[in-house]
Amino acid sequence: MKKDIILCGVGGQGILSIATIIGEAAMNENLYIKQAEVHGMSQRGGDVQSNLRISSQPIASDLIPRGAADVIISMEPMEALRYVPYLSPEGWVITSSVPFKNIPNYPDIEAVEAELAKIPHVVCIDIEQLAKDNSVPRSANVILLGAAQQALGIDHDKLEAAIRRVFARKGEEVVEANIRALEIGRDKGE
């Protein structure tokens, strides 16, 4: 088993929480993990990404080579495109459809969608509307994770158990909201 995953978005969108849940699930399966993160200046509203690699064999590089990522999970549609050079030919893109416009020259969303459509395997979801409609407003990122579970090749039960462990400190309400979000994402991603 080996999955190279790029998580991306804009600083503050919660990509590291997604990474923590996947990492927890992988650690529980005794898999090898490498997860390169971005800290520091770029977190202030800039583009951020995390390279997450999980494997049943030891992993050498902390960084994913270009053309090798199995999955891109993106909290923002233009940010998904930024990492397309890293995507393997048959790789999956799971992205939020909602643009985050904090720059004056944000491109036409139609142009972004057209580029996404050129990639063979894309799941594009309005996770923010889904989060609102289902009363889990703070768990849009976990909806995205739910939609990615098939591409990740990690069982729903294992992600659910990881969510229980990761959010245990924050109380039962937060745990349940995130598990609901994971299910919503799963149903949407199928």
Partner 1 sequence: MKKLLLGDEAIAQGAIDAGLSGVYAYPGTPSTEITEYIQGNATARERGLHSRWCTNEKTAMEAALGMSYMGKRALVCMKHVGLNVCADPFVNSAMTGVNGGVVVLVADDPSMHSSQDEQDSRFYGKFAMIPTFEPASQQEAYDMMAAAFDYSEQQCLPVLMRVTTRMAHSRAVVEVAEEPRPQNELNYNSVAANWVLLPANARRRNDKVTAQQAALEADAQASIYNRYEAAAAPQPCGQKYQLGIIASGIAYNYVNECCPAPRPFPLLKVSQYPLPKVLVRRLLDECQQVLVVEEGQPFIEEQVRGVFESHNILGRLTGQLPRTGELTPDSVGAALGLQTPQRAMPEVVAARPPALCQGCGHRDVYSALNEVLQEFDNPRVFGDIGCYTLGFLPPYKAIHSCVDMGASITMAKGAADAGQWPAVAIIGDSTFTHSGMTGLLDAINENADITVVISDNLTTAMTGGQDSAGTNKFEAICRGLGVAEEHLHVVVPLPKNMPDITRLLRQEINYHGVSVIIPRRECIQTFKRHAKERKK
CB of 58 to partner 1, least distance (A): 9
- Cβ-Cβ contacts under 8 Å for 186 (sequence gap 6 or more): 146, 147, 149, 156
Question: What is the Cβ-side half-sphere exposure of residue 134, based on CA atoms within 13 angstroms?
Answer: 23
Residue 126: C-alpha distances to residues 57, 59, 112, 144, 188 (Å) = 36, 34, 15, 9, 10
User: Cα separation of 6 and 35, whole Å?
Assistant: 10
Q: Which of 61, 117, 138, 172 binds partner 1 (CB under 8 A)?
A: 61
Does 84 bind partner 1 (CB under 8 A)? Our answer is yes
Burial of residue 105 (number of CB atoms within 10 Å: 0-12, 13-18, 19+): exposed
Does 90 bind partner 1 (CB under 8 A)? Our answer is no
Does 137 bind partner 1 (CB under 8 A)? Our answer is no
CB of 125 to partner 1, least distance (A): 20
40/135 with CB nearer partner 1 = 40
C-beta of residue 69 within 8 angstroms of C-beta of residue 91: yes
C-beta of residue 163 within 8 angstroms of C-beta of residue 142: yes
C-beta of residue 72 within 8 angstroms of C-beta of residue 95: yes
CB of 82 to partner 1, least distance (A): 5
Does 81 bind partner 1 (CB under 8 A)? Our answer is yes
User: Cα separation of 46 and 29, whole Å?
Assistant: 33
- Tell which residue, 188, 49, 46, 48, has the closest CA to residue 124: 188
CB of 7 to partner 1, least distance (A): 13
CB of 160 to partner 1, least distance (A): 19
Mark the segment that binds partner 1 (CB under 8 A) among 86-94, 129-137, 146-154, 173-181.
86-94
Per-residue binding string, partner 1, 96-135, x by CB under 8 A, is ------xxxxxxx--xx--x--------------------
Binding to partner 1, residues 34-53 (CB under 8 A): 34-47, 51
> Given the rule CB under 8 A, which residues bind partner 1?
10-11, 23-24, 27, 32-47, 51, 59-68, 78-79, 81-82, 84-87, 89, 102-108, 111-112, 115
